Amino acid sequence: MIEIHNFDVVIVGAGGAGMRAALSASTQAHTAVITKLYPTRSHTGAAQGGIAAALGNVEEDAVEWHTFDTIKGGDYLVDQDAAAVLTSEAPGAVIELEHMGLPFNRTPDGHIDQRKFGGHTREHGAAPVQRAAYAADRTGHQILQTLFQNCVKNEVEFFNEFYALELILDGARHGYADGQGAPAGQAHAARHGYADEQAHAARHGIVAYELATGKLHLFAANSIVLATGGAGRVFKTTSNAHCLTGDGMGLALRAGIPLEDMEFVQFHPTGLAGLGILLSEAARGEGGILRNNTGEAFMVNYAPKIKDLAPRDIVSRAIANEVREGRGCGPNRDYVYLDVTHLPRDVIDAKLPDITQFARTYLGVEPYTEPVPTYPTAHFTMGGIPTTLNGEVIRGLVPSDENSRVNGLSEYQTVPGLFACGETACVSVHGANRLGTNSLLETVVFGKRAGDAAAAFALSQPLPARLTRDDAAPTAARLDELRNRPRGARIASVRRALQETMDQDAAVFRTEETLHRAYANISELRHQYRAVAVEDRSLIYNTELMEAVELGYLIDIAQCMVAAAKARQESRGGHFREDYPNRDDKNFMHHSLTYLLSPASDSGNFSANRATQQQIQIVKKEVVMQGYEPMERVY
């Protein structure tokens, strides 16, 4: 039996973004949080280094310098209005966390301490600046605990270990075939025989699987917020946990919503070699140095001014280049060293305790005395579900001629009552390359904005949402079909092949040839996915069944990433095309919106593509400029 729940606001995800949204929404509206992990296990808890804010506690700093660094760091693909919001609201957001009880490291005079991080500079690039507020190398963990405790205090209702399987938008559950979408409300109203479409124009729902019981639940709400985190598991070598399968992005794609800027994936320079587990940039912020096989501190050759503290895209390419040119370390010369041996042991213990322990545990290396083998690891999804500054999900652009543009830009078509925030969203503060410590900041600044907007929208609706069990019936049928499917391809094999394809052909360096190969491989894997089968046929705690669902999202997202990367014939930020090594502002100073077009159908499986051949449409979206002219990006 499908259980029905009614709320004003339903938030999917209990990481930094989801819980910050919940704190705002729950003070105004009846709010639920659905999360596939227990909240304090969300991946925000893995964030190590810090959260950016121009507090100026340790040395002079300015919000405007932070804005400039964010835009330049993103290789000018950042929406400049969004960067201004992020950076100007940063000091207030960090102080708010402090007041909620977050135990930040302190300066001797009792202020929040701050450290250096890549790409954060004073006076527009003159020198690195100490801008990252931090709690040792457990900043995300402390943020997550603090937000959770405050949510509990505010009596937010959590549904833990519930997997969102389906997003029901008014009339849009099975996706729009044209990539433009239909007016919200029409189809749903027609299906339910409502006379007044407008009054019923915001009835959304989430169908979720409860791990502990195997039961399906239908959550109806006027506002839904997607805050499901990133999609790093598209790659094999990644700093992301197994749960980061891009579920919110997959749900959005299936509902006919595009993903923005998916070609831009961040590879963090210092993953533990061969494993991908992250060693935070904080190690270099505290004075760590990258060295090649001659012991040379090679970053001076790539970023003469700020060297090891250059932005991540530049450092990752530098490391990959050292290895390619034979200057890598180890028996296979396939990594470089991160050297902190010159740092005092008490500094390592006080400021980098977790990551140095990772080196001991996973590689058997003692960082006090030995350099640590490192290589770039897939880390962050710059792209995601496109949103406005208040987290409203953008479905597309309103067709316009020059005369009907607002401030010179196309108008957006949003989905009323649908919001997104955090890593799953793309409000475009990171552009082509995120600066370290700007992501935790994004979760709290835009989580709050999305929570506020979701509550306001829900409360402005004349009627509460009203869905019936019939709305969840197709999901139940699909899940049953998947669970009871006769023998077929193994989920782990298809997933491994996908991840290896992405590592090999769509990682730090890309060409038309590698991307073409990746696209063909993904299409073949999509074909295999249609016949995957699970061995566990039980209803309760069926994590294998959930992995099968997640694999559908991974395939869809990988295909969007590769298609968008093929279309962008230039190099910018984290997207480096060896066949087009320069940035090309004339032809590519625009965002990409990638739509998966598939025939609407109730049958098939948990992937937007219920046909084997996926059609992809890529639409250009303008970059919002507010006075920062694109310049050559040198450090």
CB of 28 to ligand FAD, least distance (A): 20
H-only helix segments in 333-486: 345-351, 353-358, 438-460, 469-483
Is beta strand 265-272 parallel, antiparallel or unpaired with respect to 372-381? Answer: antiparallel
Residues catalogued as catalytic = 312
CB of 113 to ligand FAD, least distance (A): 14
CB-wise, 247 or 308, nearer to ligand FAD?
A: 247
CB-wise, 132 or 189, nearer to ligand FAD?
A: 132
Q: Which of 561, 551, 447 is nearest to 496 (CA)?
A: 551
Q: Which helix (H) or strand (E) holds 394?
A: strand 392-397
- Number of Cβ within a 10 Å radius of residue 293: 16
Q: Which of 606, 600, 599, 612 is nearest to 475 (CA)?
A: 606
d(CA 344, CA 537) in angstroms, rounded, equals 55
CB-wise, 266 or 292, nearer to ligand FAD?
A: 266
What does the block give as tokens for 80?
């400049």
H-only helix segments in 510-591: 512-529, 543-567, 585-588
CB of 324 to ligand FAD, least distance (A): 25
CB-wise, 80 or 424, nearer to ligand FAD?
A: 424
What does the block give as tokens for 140?
């995300």
CB of 56 to ligand FAD, least distance (A): 19
- Quick one: DSSP state of residue 624? P
CB-wise, 397 or 445, nearer to ligand FAD?
A: 445
At residue 113, what are phi and psi to the nearest 5 degrees?
Answer: -75, 155
d(CA 459, CA 221) in angstroms, rounded, equals 11
CB-wise, 14 or 221, nearer to ligand FAD?
A: 14
Which region holds residue 604: left if phi is over 0, alpha if psi is between -120 and 50, else beta?
A: left
- 3-state per-residue secondary structure call for 230-242: CCHHHCCCECCCC
CB of 410 to ligand FAD, least distance (A): 27
Cβ pair 459, 9 in contact under 8 A: no
Q: Which residue is nearest to ligand FAD (CB)?
A: 15
CB of 18 to ligand FAD, least distance (A): 6
Cβ pair 190, 3 in contact under 8 A: no
CB-wise, 438 or 499, nearer to ligand FAD?
A: 438
CB of 457 to ligand FAD, least distance (A): 21
Can you give the length of the chain in residues?
635
CB of 471 to ligand FAD, least distance (A): 18
CB-wise, 42 or 614, nearer to ligand FAD?
A: 42
What does the block give as tokens for 529?
């996915």
Residues 6 or more apart whose Cβ sits within 8 Å of residue 96: 444
CB of 382 to ligand FAD, least distance (A): 10
* Interface with ligand FAD (CB under 6 A): 12-18, 34-37, 42-44, 46-51, 139-140, 163-164, 227-230, 239-240, 243, 247, 278, 280, 379-380, 422-424, 436-440, 443
What does the block give as tokens for 172?
């849009």
- Report CA-CA distances (Å) from 177 to 7, 59, 191, 246, 536: 30, 54, 19, 22, 34
> Dihedral (C-alpha) 267, 268, 271, 275: value to the nearest 10 degrees?
-30
The SS3 call for residue 166 is strand
Which region holds residue 155: left if phi is over 0, alpha if psi is between -120 and 50, else beta?
A: left
CB-wise, 95 or 567, nearer to ligand FAD?
A: 95
Q: Which of 601, 593, 599, 588 is nearest to 617 (CA)?
A: 593
- Report CA-CA distances (Å) from 70 to 115, 284, 524, 537, 584: 17, 19, 38, 48, 20
